[in-house]
Amino acid sequence: MTSRFTELVVDCHDPERLAAFWCAVLDFEVIDRSEDKTVKNRLHLDVSPVDGSTDDEVARLLGLGAATVDVGQGPGRSWVVMADPEGNEFDVLRTLAPPGRAVDR
C-alpha cells in the first residue's frame, strides 16, 4: 500500500532519518541532495492512499513511525492529521483507490 505525492522538501534535524521515513511512506527514492539552505522551509503535505483504505494507510504510517495528532480537527472529518518522526504535520486524505479496492470506515 502506498500514498502518492510528487515532490517533498522538509526542514529537519536529521535529514537521513526523515528521508528514509518519507521514501517508505511514498515509495520514493532520494535522487538529489542540494546544499543546506539558510532559510527555514515550511510545508503542509496531504497524501492520499492509492491502493487501500484510509484506515489501512494510517495503520501503515503508524508502523513507519508517524503519530496521530489532535489539532482540534474534531470528530467526523474525512482526513487524519499525523506527524512524521520529527513532528512535521501532514494529513492523510480519503483513498484514491477505485471503488471495490478499498473501503473507508
CATH C-level class of 44-99:
alpha beta
Q: How many residues does the chain have?
A: 105
Q: Which three cell numbers mark 55?
A: 484506515
- Which range is most confident: 1-5, 26-30, 43-47, 54-58? 54-58
pLDDT class for 39, splitting at 50, 70, 90? very low
pLDDT class for 99, splitting at 50, 70, 90? low
In this predicted structure, what is the pLDDT of residue 31? 67
Across 22-46, average pLDDT: 68
Question: Could you tell me if 21 and 84 are in contact, meaning their C-beta atoms sit under 8 angstroms apart?
Answer: yes
Q: What's the N-to-C CA distance of the chain in angstroms?
A: 17
Main-chain phi, psi angles of 53, to 5 degrees: -75, 160
pLDDT at 13 over 80: yes
Task: State the Cα–Cα distance between residues 29 and 101, nearest whole angstrom.
Answer: 26
**Threshold 0.75, pTM exceeds:** no
Phi-psi region at 22: left, alpha or beta (left = phi > 0; alpha = psi -120 to 50)? alpha
- Convert the pLDDT of each residue in 52-80 to its tens digit: 888 999 999 999 999 999 888 878 888 89
Rg (C-alpha) for the chain, rounded Å, is 14
